[in-house]
Structure 1
Amino acid sequence: MYFKLAARNLKRSFKDYTIYFLTLVFGVCIFYTFNSIEAQSILMEVSEMHKNMFHLISEIMGVASIFISFILGFLIVYANNYLIKRRKKEFGVYMTLGMENSRLSSLLFIETMMIGVISLALGLILGIFLSQGLSVVTAKLFKVDLTGFRFIFSMDAFIKTILCFGVIYLIILIFNSIIVRKVKLINLLTSAKFNEKMKIKNIWTSVVVFIISVITIGSGYYIVLKNGISSFDKNILIAIALGAVGTFLFFFSLAGFLLKVVQSSKKFYLRNLNMFVLRQINSKINTTFISMTFICLMLFVAICTLSGGLGISTAMNTEIEDLTQFDMSFWDNEGEDIDTVLKKYNVDISKYEDNYVSYKEYDSGVSYRDFLSEKGLEDGNNYYPVFKNLPISVMKVSDFNKIMKMLNREEVKLKVGEYAVFGDISDMIKNLQETVDSGKEITIGDNKLKPYHGNVLEAVTYSSMMKQNICVFLVEDSIVEGLTPTRGYLNLNYSGDGSEIREALDVNIREYNGNDDLNTRYITKEEIKEQSTGLGALASYLAIYMGIIFLITSAAVLALQQLSESADNTERYNLLRKVGVDESMINHSVLTQVAIYFMMPLSLAIVHSIVGLKLASDIVAIFGGASMVDHIVVASVVLVIVYGGYFLATYSGSKKMIKGN
């Protein structure tokens, strides 16, 4: 009997369950899809390095999924609470007819199990099919070919999804049981008559709190923009805290502040149903300012995550050709001579290759503040060496020319008493050029040097995962005598396939990795390319995964809140009809109310994102010269589709709910 009644209740209340149900299905689908990435590697021709990257991505996705589980758990519990609230009067009728609390709890248990099983099954089916398409995207990100398409199924992702959502549904069942067993009949029948209390009754208190919120948010912006991303210290944490607290105070004060501001314009306030709509909005913000705060912050994170993650992925692959101009590069952080170090470990480079250059960089004693202009320091503030005012490195011009010869580029010829400058960060070249053009003289050791009358060179002098040489001085060889070496380098190009030298290094050097006595490391062109594509794929997947989940959660909570508000307001809209308000005006008021409610957290989130995206663009610039514009557009499109879709569904549901009653 209870199963039949539960099935009938679900069918009859489907309009209330639609957004909740579709959100569950989509959440399960996304969860399975992004946890099945490692299984997709069987469709591709991948190296051992790529296999390791697939495993790394799978592990990080697993960790991210734990966090995502809490977000989805919060959403499902919140949505379930909304559904119970919507049906309090119905439950009251059941109890009036003699149904005991335990029986009512059993009925709700069956309904929850039914919708959980159905949504889990549909979500898994959609996720399995979506993961097939994701394998094509994965192959493109890893720049590998598919060996042949065949249907893939990830048992690990399947089990993980069932366990995760099974635990969430179990929590909901316990939650529902506790609520229903403690509920009283009188509260169920009169739940719609309880009024909400204003948190701030004094308008001037609202104004003061609103001003404080703006100042607090502005202070957070100032700290972020002033310090940039060059040093993630306590200032960043303070800025985040100020932004979060300011957002809370903003929505906390908005309830009283907004209404009074609008009331100051009687012409607007008394036009059409504006008075009714604003009263409704004011009442809703008054009771949901905490959830509004979290929604705003989640939207902000979603926008920045989508844009920044996709930007980092593109940046890591944009400059890959510049970063892999040598087949192999060595470096030593103690400034040791690489040739000497390798011979100590029984590897003599000259026995295998003759196309190589070994060189050192030295401490010039000239800091960035000593050399760059104020504008240059400001533009370079996001780079750690500039922010910390570290000494600029210097190298022999003869070593630089050997590297240029390897790259088939023009050599630099210095006169006595001259220095030249090169760097590999495109954004800083113009600042370096301005300093050189101004005739900036520097002193290295006992030598006073004038700038070489030529362009600042943009050159990558060793293979690595990212560009790191903001500025390096080139001087005559004799000038570095007596200077402290800071790093040693060696670049080589294979004369054949390089298998012999790689085998020698694997046997004699790889085993010492992690040994404190060995500060020399090396990386090959192939390793850089494979790691870049793998890390780029990881950044993309995390951005899409977390960004979409945050968007869905934010939009779904807003939708459920507004649908709940519409259900509670049906009697008020009926009264409007009785006093002569036509249906088009009522529909317009519903549209206005839903639009304002959806736009308030989004508007502040967009303002936050302007600062956040400035920070994200600085992070992307460190990885490469990719433009953020395309990725901001992509994030905006995703935002419009997901957030706009929930908005339209909420408006349609609210309109039908009000009209149907």
Structure 2
Amino acid sequence: MVIGYWLAMQDLFTSKVWEKAGFLMTALTILTTVIAGTFLLFHSVTGFVLAMIKKNEKWLWKGLHLMTISQLLYRIRGNARTLTVIAVLSATTVTAGGAVYGLYYNANDQVMTADPNTFMYQQTDEKIDQQVSAVLPDTMYDKNIVALSVPFNTKELNTASAFDSSEKRIYTVIDEKTYNELAEVQGKEALLVNDDNAVILDIGYDKRFSPKYKDKTIKTENSKEITFQSYKTQTVLNAGTAGITVVVSNDQFKALQTEGEHLNYRVIGMDQASTDLSEKIAKQIPEEALFSSAPKDFQTSIEGVGSLLFIGSFLGLVFLAATGSIIYFKVLTEAEEDKSQYNMLHKMGVNAKEMRKSIASQVFVIFFVPLAVGLLHSAIALKAFSGLLMMDLAKPVLIWMIAYTVIYGLYYILTVASYNRIITQNNKTEG
């Protein structure tokens, strides 16, 4: 299991192990080692732990502990394969469901990162602005901003990225004043840009692939140099309209006005906006204006992930029902075999409360040890998945795990109740 976990936690894109062994071979190795390790855990390690507990004589001779431990030792080793299947099914269900729910849960944050303004488009005609204003309700802010589209020589940036060998890129450039005006209405921190320096706003920044911007220099076609003092993974302009944005000092912005194309953008912020309003605005704007809409992008994102969430939830319930049913029928089969033992204890004067306590303890271990192992497997898998997507999945995954455990716990309660009913009825019948 440790070998499988270690391989799973290696970065898919930068790990030498994944590179040398190949994706398919490494994935199969992870699967094989984790399943084999899970089987050994139930067959040997759990038995060893129970055997060590059995040596505690002071605890062992209290109540029915001796019987409980002895039966667990026999059953866990005998049911190692079944428990392995349950753990793997639980891990598969929680991993698939948690990953999809994590994407769904973070959909709004992803859209807000890419579209900090509710609407944004490039202004091409004053008449279009009037038509848009005619369909707009009250807004939080409605600003016209000036930007530049400047081609830069970015050869120095390419040393850190093997995925982009182009030496020229076009960035949208705004001045510090514009950035701070938008940052204020969007609830972001103000920015101070030094002379001849810049801050790049790259929402897609990934330290594995993106250039190491800090202290790197880019040049305009006329050899004007700009050095990045830092970078930010948030932006104040909608990425779908403006792309990657560079913030320069107010004086530097004036100096760059002869280097690129002048752009006029209209940015609109609203408390609430519908896709219907987005469609009305889109009808007033030509395609070349690069209109971007946060409500529309959110709807598209939810529609894409929502279908996956439905499929994942449905399959999760199927696997959960299968997992719970396997243990349910397995335990009740064993209850039929244990009737004579509990009837003997009944005749010896052991009260029903002690027997119920012993039954609940045995069933609890059979139910929740494989669940705990399955949740551990899924936690490692989802940790690797979140690292791959550079996304925080901790909260949605925890919610999914709790929901799964609660439903799984209902099977446990049902199984214990059925087990007790079988034993109680037999004791009444046999006397």
- Superposition TM-score, scaled by structure 1 size: 0.46
Map 1:323-342 to 2 at 5 A. Answer: 323-324=114-115, 325=117
Give yes or no for contact 1:256–1:282 (8 Å, CA) kept in 2: yes
Determine whether 1:615 maps to 2:384.
Answer: yes
Give yes or no for contact 1:463–1:523 (8 Å, CA) kept in 2: no
2:11 aligned to 211, 223, 227, which one?
227
Q: 1:415 maps to what in 2? A: 195
Give yes or no for contact 1:364–1:391 (8 Å, CA) kept in 2: no
Q: 1:400 maps to what in 2? A: 173
Question: For residues 394 and 422 of structure 1, what CA distance do their matches in structure 2 show?
Answer: 17
Where 2:10 maps in the other structure, the secondary structure is helix
Map 1:572-591 to 2 at 5 A. Answer: 572-591=341-360
Give yes or no for contact 2:156–2:217 (8 Å, CA) kept in 1: yes
Map 1:449-598 to 2 at 5 A. Answer: 451-452=228-229, 456=232, 458-459=234-235, 461-464=237-240, 497-499=281-283, 502=286, 524-525=292-293, 527-598=296-367
Map 1:68-467 to 2 at 5 A. Answer: 217-227=1-11, 233-234=23-24, 235-254=26-45, 256-324=47-115, 325=117, 359=149, 364-366=154-156, 399-401=172-174, 409=182, 415-416=195-196, 418-424=197-203, 441-442=215-216, 444=218, 451-452=228-229, 456=232, 458-459=234-235, 461-464=237-240
1:628 aligned to 394, 402, 406, which one?
394
Query: Residue type matched to 2:173 in 1?
Result: F
Where 1:569 maps in the other structure, the secondary structure is helix
Question: For residues 13 and 243 of structure 2, what CA distance do their matches in structure 1 show?
Answer: 15
Determine whether 1:641 maps to 2:406.
Answer: yes
Query: Residue type matched to 1:364 in 2?
Result: T
Question: For residues 243 and 424 of structure 2, what CA distance do their matches in structure 1 show?
Answer: 63
Query: Residue type matched to 2:301 in 1?
Result: S
Query: Residue type matched to 1:415 in 2?
Result: D
- RMSD value over aligned CA atoms? 4.9
Structure 2, unaligned runs of 5 or more? 130-143, 184-190, 257-262, 269-279, 427-431
Query: Residue type matched to 2:105 in 1?
Result: T
Which structure has more helix as a fraction of its residues? 1
Q: Deviation string for 1:139-164 (max 9, x for gaps)? A: xxxxxxxxxxxxxxxxxxxxxxxxxx
Give yes or no for contact 1:326–1:493 (8 Å, CA) kept in 2: no
Query: Residue type matched to 1:544 in 2?
Result: S
Question: For residues 554 and 393 of structure 1, what CA distance do their matches in structure 2 show?
Answer: 55
Query: Residue type matched to 1:297 in 2?
Result: V
Question: For residues 412 and 352 of structure 1, what CA distance do their matches in structure 2 show?
Answer: 36
1:588–1:500 distance in 2 versus 1, CA, 3 Å:
closer
By how many angstroms is 1:395 displaced? 5.6
Query: Residue type matched to 1:246 in 2?
Result: G
Give yes or no for contact 1:327–1:492 (8 Å, CA) kept in 2: no
Question: For residues 528 and 596 of structure 1, what CA distance do their matches in structure 2 show?
Answer: 47
Q: Deviation string for 1:290-317 (max 9, x for gaps)? A: 2211211221233333433222112112
Where 1:317 maps in the other structure, the secondary structure is helix
Question: For residues 361 and 251 of structure 1, what CA distance do their matches in structure 2 show?
Answer: 62
Structure 1, unaligned runs of 5 or more? 1-216, 331-348, 371-384, 481-489, 506-521
Question: For residues 494 and 353 of structure 1, what CA distance do their matches in structure 2 show?
Answer: 14
Q: 1:22 maps to what in 2? A: none
Query: Residue type matched to 1:273 in 2?
Result: L
Question: For residues 314 and 100 of structure 2, what CA distance do their matches in structure 1 show?
Answer: 10
Where 1:401 maps in the other structure, the secondary structure is strand
Query: Residue type matched to 1:221 in 2?
Result: Y
By how many angstroms is 1:610 displaced? 3.0
By how many angstroms is 1:556 displaced? 1.8
Give yes or no for contact 1:425–1:468 (8 Å, CA) kept in 2: no
Give yes or no for contact 2:152–2:218 (8 Å, CA) kept in 1: no
1:451–1:363 distance in 2 versus 1, CA, 3 Å:
closer
By how many angstroms is 1:660 displaced? 1.1
1:606 aligned to 367, 375, 383, which one?
375
- Superposition TM-score, scaled by structure 2 size: 0.67
Give yes or no for contact 1:396–1:474 (8 Å, CA) kept in 2: no
1:618–1:592 distance in 2 versus 1, CA, 3 Å:
same
Question: For residues 93 and 217 of structure 2, what CA distance do their matches in structure 1 show?
Answer: 49
Give yes or no for contact 1:369–1:389 (8 Å, CA) kept in 2: no
Question: For residues 528 and 420 of structure 1, what CA distance do their matches in structure 2 show?
Answer: 26
Query: Residue type matched to 2:3 in 1?
Result: S
Question: For residues 589 and 414 of structure 1, what CA distance do their matches in structure 2 show?
Answer: 72
Q: 2:415 maps to what in 1? A: 650
Where 1:581 maps in the other structure, the secondary structure is coil
1:547–1:460 distance in 2 versus 1, CA, 3 Å:
farther
Q: Deviation string for 1:117-159 (max 9, x for gaps)? A: xxxxxxxxxxxxxxxxxxxxxxxxxxxxxxxxxxxxxxxxxxx
Between 442-451 and 606-615, report the one with greater CA deviation: 442-451
Determine what percentage of the aligned residue pairs are the same residue: 17
1:363–1:224 distance in 2 versus 1, CA, 3 Å:
farther
Question: For residues 243 and 472 of structure 1, what CA distance do their matches in structure 2 show?
Answer: 46
Where 1:285 maps in the other structure, the secondary structure is helix
Query: Residue type matched to 1:561 in 2?
Result: K
Which structure has more strand as a fraction of its residues? 2
Query: Residue type matched to 2:403 in 1?
Result: V
Where 2:195 maps in the other structure, the secondary structure is coil
Q: Deviation string for 1:27-61 (max 9, x for gaps)? A: xxxxxxxxxxxxxxxxxxxxxxxxxxxxxxxxxxx
Where 2:63 maps in the other structure, the secondary structure is coil
By how many angstroms is 1:600 displaced? 1.4
Question: For residues 391 and 261 of structure 1, what CA distance do their matches in structure 2 show?
Answer: 61
Query: Residue type matched to 1:421 in 2?
Result: I
Where 2:350 maps in the other structure, the secondary structure is coil
Give yes or no for contact 1:314–1:536 (8 Å, CA) kept in 2: no
Between 403-412 and 574-583, report the one with greater CA deviation: 403-412
Number of residue pairs aligned between Structure 1 and Structure 2 = 371
Where 2:53 maps in the other structure, the secondary structure is helix
Q: Deviation string for 1:626-652 (max 9, x for gaps)? A: 7632x3453244234311111111111
Q: Which has the higher contact order (CA 8 A, sep 6+)?
A: 2
Map 1:21-100 to 2 at 5 A. Answer: none
By how many angstroms is 1:546 displaced? 2.7
Give yes or no for contact 2:93–2:315 (8 Å, CA) kept in 1: yes
Give yes or no for contact 1:594–1:651 (8 Å, CA) kept in 2: yes
Query: Residue type matched to 2:74 in 1?
Result: S
Give yes or no for contact 2:176–2:193 (8 Å, CA) kept in 1: no
Q: Deviation string for 1:249-279 (max 9, x for gaps)? A: 3223347534433344344444432232223
